[in-house]
């Protein structure tokens, strides 16, 4: 700290302010938890809290198990073996990530329900009248299936990258020692990829805890739905805060478990170079089995829902007035674009701060900002609203002084929503920017300073242009995450402000599944395209 | 004295041993100083302290009557008027050779900047390379661009960190001669770090030897040869003494 005091300037001030802005709202949750409780909370604690905990536990554990099973097995096949369609599957297996789970949830419900494709074919094609209960997906196992199909890519990508590099020689030498593929898998692959599996699975678990769309649609009670219910159903924000704090406690336990399991090793994904590895060809039925397995997962996680969405879109095209639809598109692009720009800009400032400061404790400051990603959207929503209502309270005299009628200004504006997005998704942008800074190092910066450029000129003329790749990928990742976002947008949007995702969610909730498809298809299309572009950029950077 | 380094100490954060311990040195205008020393002896650290990239723990730094550092002052690197050639050159990869050289010429008219840039290219004999990007140049050419970039703003002092380490032997010889000519032609005071004695002898007016962050020797290259010879003799005598004689 002392040594760098001389660098105390507008950039440092900016960085510290951003860090505080990202971190402080979450404190309101902690303080809120210790306020005196009311009847609703006592009632919930006594009768239903247990059920929330059990449901959330089942959902997270089962989803973690199945995503690891599928993600790891696919990663292992792609990293070690050569089989038909391998090159295509290698990147295509990431595509299910472009379908937000709630869209997958209502699409599968639509496919499987009485009037849906499967039952209709069975009934009319084969005259089979089966018990509809067989096709009921709106329950815990159904939700687990949905989460697994659309979240396994987190485990798959991280593990696949990992298995393709560090461990190559290790696996090869195990093979040379004459162990068969199964023993290699259980005795070597599984233990060495532990860290990447944990990294991927904890992302999955955090996504499951964050999810509101799927559980709400399938009628499963979890923490997230309870937060909504007590807030909007009972109008009881205090109880929401207490629920949110409990959920955060849950998340903290998970993060601690992750830390414990991971040990002292850090795992950073998307960062290292891939070195080509000798693939083992799988011939005959083995090759077809591997390709078939990959294709099956890809179909369930991507092709089937997309085909269904396309079908519905064609059927309902024109039912939503074009003008109205374009407004949703505009709103979506506006909030996603603006928050992505702000996040990248803030991440650049904080990242720059992070690499310049030297103190032991100041170095920890930037780490605070990435907490937001582990905090479920519903919790952030509660925190941000609490913070903004308080802020409006402070600013009330100012509002009255400039002649406004109301003292609730910021807390009903779009600023609220943008602030929440920034807190929640900052880590996504920051990861990318931090990697960018790591890559360019500090020499160029030093050179620029010595040539007479101050910190500001250096930032714009040297740092930013050199980090184009990191900036673009950070922007894309945040953009698609905001585009798909549900709970924050639903709670915090200004009156009458709809985006593609809130509209898709509302149509689906009103059982207008087909109408929901147009907005959904657009979200999926944009996300899929962004993912493809992202991986192309990444591949180029790796060369 | 043109450059005065007085009693400067420094240690990197979270380390125990000082990287530089009570270092003192005066440099005359136009003098070429070479810093020699083992890896880790603190050579780069001196340059970084002079440049303002690190902050000394105590001591004083003065250039031409302007205090860069003392108890009360710490002048930011961009205000010091010091040029530096980095070990890996640090040429901005997104700018052409011309733009790299003009980067440091901020308060000049566009036409003047161009003129100065061309002069610099001429000095380092790279007139035709103005429009190229750094990655389209050879290692030696990159190094000459880095020197041109550092000299262009007319710094009081230029620092070079192992300027020859990335070059093959043949190129090293040529660049060494070029560098001395360039430095003398421009009459720039300079300090360069090297671990190669030959560099130091050919280039330097004075040599400073560092050992574990402390000054070990300072003097003209010819003086050093004497101490060296003495050291070498002492060492070989010791070796002879400690070696058991083997009878066959
Ligand atoms: N950023 C840093 N953090 C902590 N210690 C450092 C740092 N940079 C250098 N050191 C330590 O300070 C001492 C001096 O380092 P310095 O870079 O000045 O050595 P050098 O003489 O330039 O060596 P070389 O010839 O290898 O470049 C070394 O012991 C080194 O380990
Ligand atoms: Mg060095």
Among B8, B11, B12, B209, say which to mutate for ligand 1: greatest number of ligand atoms within 8 Å of CB.
Answer: B12
pLDDT number for residue A275? 44
- Number of A:B CB contacts under 8 A? 67
Name which residue leads in pLDDT, A188 or B140.
B140
Whole-structure pTM value:
0.80
pLDDT at B241 over 70: no
Judge residue B193's burial from the number of C-beta atoms within 10 Å of its C-beta, 0-12 exposed, 13-18 middle, 19 or more buried.
buried
Q: Is the ipTM of this complex over 0.90?
A: no
Least confident stretch, A5-14, A192-201, B24-33:
A5-14
pLDDT at A39 over 80: no
pLDDT at B225 over 70: no
Dist CA B240 CA B237 (whole Å):
5
Dist CA A109 CA A184 (whole Å):
39
Residue of B nearest to A455 (CA): B78
Strands A81-82 and B214-219: unpaired
Q: Tell me the mean pLDDT in the region B103-112.
A: 88
Q: Tell me the mean pLDDT in the region A512-526.
A: 90
| Contact between chains at B92 and A462 (C-beta distance less than 8 A) | yes
Q: Tell me the mean pLDDT in the region B81-89.
A: 88
Cα of B217 from ligand 1 centre, angstroms = 19
Q: Tell me the mean pLDDT in the region B56-67.
A: 91
pLDDT number for residue A191? 75
* A131 DSSP assignment: -
| Contact between chains at A444 and B92 (C-beta distance less than 8 A) | yes
B159 strand-pairing partners: B84, B191
Residue B151, both tokens: 């000299």
How far off is chain B from A276, nearest CA to CA, in Å? 26
pLDDT number for residue B200? 84
Q: Tell me the mean pLDDT in the region A267-279.
A: 47
pLDDT in tens, A47-74: 778 888 899 999 999 999 999 999 999 9
pLDDT in tens, B174-198: 777 777 887 887 788 999 998 788 8
B94 close contact with A: CB closer than 8 A? yes
pLDDT at A263 over 50: yes
Phi, psi for residue A81 in degrees, rounded to 5: -120, 155
Q: Tell me the mean pLDDT in the region A323-343.
A: 93
Cα of A53 from ligand 1 centre, angstroms = 53
pLDDT number for residue B217? 85
- Which residues, other chains included, contact A199 with Cβ-Cβ below 8 Å and sequence gap of 6+? A158, A258, A262, A267, A269
For chain A, which residues lie within 8 Å of any Cβ of chain B, measuring from their own Cβ?
3-4, 6-7, 358-360, 443-444, 446-454, 457, 461-462, 465-466
pLDDT grade for B230, boundaries at 50, 70 and 90: low
Q: Tell me the mean pLDDT in the region A156-165.
A: 79
Residue B195, both tokens: 């671990």
pLDDT number for residue A124? 77
Tell me what the pLDDT averaged over chain A comes to.
83
- B14 neighbourhood in chain A, CB within 8 Å: 360
A35 strand-pairing partners: none
Residue to mutate among B8, B9, B13, B91, with most A CBs inside 10 A, is B13
| Contact between chains at B77 and A461 (C-beta distance less than 8 A) | no
The Cβ of residue A378 has, within 10 Å, a number of other Cβ atoms equal to 28
Q: What is the DSSP string of chain B?
A: --EEEEEEEE--TT-SS-SEEEEEEEE-TT-EEEEEE-TTSSHHHHHHHHHTSS--SEEEEEETTEEEESSS-B--GGGS-EEEE-TT----TTS-HHHHHHTT-TTS-HHHHHHHHHHHHHHTT-GGGTT--GGGS-HHHHHHHHHHHHHTT--SEEEEESTTTTS-HHHHHHHHHHHHHHHHHHT-EEEEEES-HHHHHHH-SEEEEEETTEEEEEE-HHHHHHHHHHHHHHHHHHHHHHSPPPP-
Tell me what the pLDDT averaged over chain B comes to.
85
Query: Of A28-42, A82-96, A115-129, A259-273, where does the model show the most confidence?
Result: A82-96
pLDDT number for residue A6? 44
pLDDT number for residue B229? 60
Residue of B nearest to A441 (CA): B90
pLDDT number for residue B3? 92
- B92 neighbourhood in chain A, CB within 8 Å: 444, 447-448, 462, 466
pLDDT at B245 over 70: no
Give the largest Cα separation in chain A, rounded.
83
* A281 DSSP assignment: E
pLDDT at A269 over 50: no
B194 lines ligand 1 (CB under 6 A): no
pLDDT in tens, A75-133: 989 888 899 999 899 889 999 989 999 999 999 999 988 777 777 777 777 777 777 77
Dist CA A85 CA A106 (whole Å):
30
- Which residues, other chains included, contact A11 with Cβ-Cβ below 8 Å and sequence gap of 6+? A349, A352, A353, A455, A456, A459
Q: Tell me the mean pLDDT in the region A511-519.
A: 87
B133 close contact with A: CB closer than 8 A? no
pLDDT number for residue A274? 39
């Amino acid at each position: 700290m002392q040594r760098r005091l001389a660098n105390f300037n507008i950039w440092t001030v900016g960085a510290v302010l951003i860090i505080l802005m990202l971190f402080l709202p979450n404190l309101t949750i902690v303080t809120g938890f210790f306020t005196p409780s009311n009847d609703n909370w006592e009632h919930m604690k006594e009768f239903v809290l247990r059920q929330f905990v059990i449901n959330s536990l089942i959902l997270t554990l089962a989803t973690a198990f199945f995503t690891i099973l599928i993600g790891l097995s696919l990663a292992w096949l792609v990293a070690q073996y050569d089989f038909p369609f391998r090159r295509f599957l290698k990147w295509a297996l990431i595509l299910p990530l472009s379908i937000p789970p709630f869209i997958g949830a209502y699409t599968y419900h639509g496919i499987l329900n009485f009037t849906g494709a499967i039952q209709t074919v069975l009934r009319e094609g084969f005259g089979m009248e089966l018990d509809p209960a067989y096709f009921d997906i709106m329950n815990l196992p159904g939700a687990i299936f949905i989460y697994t199909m659309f979240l396994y890519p987190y485990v798959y990508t991280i593990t696949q990258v990992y298995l393709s590099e560090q461990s190559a020689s290790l696996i090869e030498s195990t093979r040379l020692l004459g162990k068969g593929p199964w023993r290699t898998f259980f005795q070597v692959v599984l233990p060495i990829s532990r860290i990447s599996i944990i990294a991927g699975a904890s992302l999955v678990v955090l996504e499951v805890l964050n999810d509101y769309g799927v559980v709400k649609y399938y009628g499963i009670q979890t923490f997230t739905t309870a937060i909504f219910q007590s807030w909007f159903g009972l109008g009881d924000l205090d109880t929401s805060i207490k629920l949110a704090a409990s959920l955060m406690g849950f998340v903290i336990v998970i993060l601690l478990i992750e830390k414990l399991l991971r040990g002292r090793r850090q795992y950073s994904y998307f960062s290292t170079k891939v070195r080509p590895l000798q693939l083992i060809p799988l011939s005959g039925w083995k090759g077809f089995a591997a390709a078939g397995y990959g294709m099956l997962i890809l179909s369930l996680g991507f092709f089937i829902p997309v085909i269904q969405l396309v079908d519905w879109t064609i059927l309902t095209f024109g039912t939503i007035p074009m003008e109205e639809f374009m407004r949703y598109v505009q709103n979506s692009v506006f909030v996603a674009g603006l928050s992505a720009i702000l996040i990248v800009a803030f991440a650049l400032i904080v990242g720059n701060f992070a690499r310049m400061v030297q103190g032991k404790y100041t170095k920890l400051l930037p780490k605070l900002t990435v907490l937001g990603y582990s905090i479920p959207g519903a919790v952030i929503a509660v925190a941000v609203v609490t913070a903004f209502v308080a802020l409006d309270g402070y600013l009330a005299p100012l509002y009255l002084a400039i002649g406004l009628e109301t003292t609730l200004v910021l807390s009903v504006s779009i600023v609220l929503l943008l602030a929440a997005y920034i807190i929640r998704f900052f880590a996504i942008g920051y990861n990318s920017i931090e990697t960018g800074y790591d890559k360019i190092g500090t020499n160029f910066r030093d050179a620029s300073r010595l040539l007479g450029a101050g910190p500001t000129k250096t930032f714009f003329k040297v740092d930013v242009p050199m980090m184009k790749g990191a900036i673009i990928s950070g922007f894309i990742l945040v953009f698609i995450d905001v585009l798909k976002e549900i709970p924050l947008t639903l709670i915090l949007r200004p009156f009458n402000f709809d985006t593609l995702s809130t509209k898709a969610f509302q149509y689906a909730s009103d059982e207008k599944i087909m109408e929901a498809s147009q907005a959904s298809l657009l979200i999926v299309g944009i996300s899929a395209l962004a993912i493809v572009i992202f991986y192309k950029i990444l591949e180029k950077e790796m060369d | 004295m043109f450059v005065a380094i007085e009693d400067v100490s420094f240690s990197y954060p979270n380390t125990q041993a000082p990287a530089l311990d009570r270092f003192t040195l005066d440099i005359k205008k136009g003098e070429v100083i070479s810093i020699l020393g083992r890896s880790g002896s603190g050579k780069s650290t001196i340059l970084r302290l002079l440049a303002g990239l690190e902050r000394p723990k105590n001591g004083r730094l003065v250039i031409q009557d302007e205090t860069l550092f003392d108890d009360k002052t710490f002048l930011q690197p961009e205000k010091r008027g010091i040029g530096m050639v980095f070990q890996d050159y640090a040429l901005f990869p997104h700018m052409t050779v011309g733009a790299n050289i003009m980067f440091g010429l901020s308060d000049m008219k566009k036409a003047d900047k161009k003129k100065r840039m061309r002069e610099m290219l001429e000095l380092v004999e790279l007139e035709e390379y103005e429009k190229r990007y750094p990655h389209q140049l050879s290692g030696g050419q990159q190094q000459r661009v880095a020197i041109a970039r550092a000299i262009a703003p007319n710094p009081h002092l230029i620092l070079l960190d192992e300027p020859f380490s990335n070059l093959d032997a043949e190129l090293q010889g040529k660049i060494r001669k070029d560098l001395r000519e360039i430095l003398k032609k421009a009459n720039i005071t300079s300090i360069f770090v090297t671990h190669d004695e030959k560099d130091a002898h050919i280039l330097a007016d004075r040599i400073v030897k560092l050992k574990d962050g402390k000054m070990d020797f300072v003097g003209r290259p010819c003086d050093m040869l004497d101490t060296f010879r003495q050291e070498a003799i002492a060492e070989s005598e010791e070796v002879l003494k400690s070696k058991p004689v083997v009878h066959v």
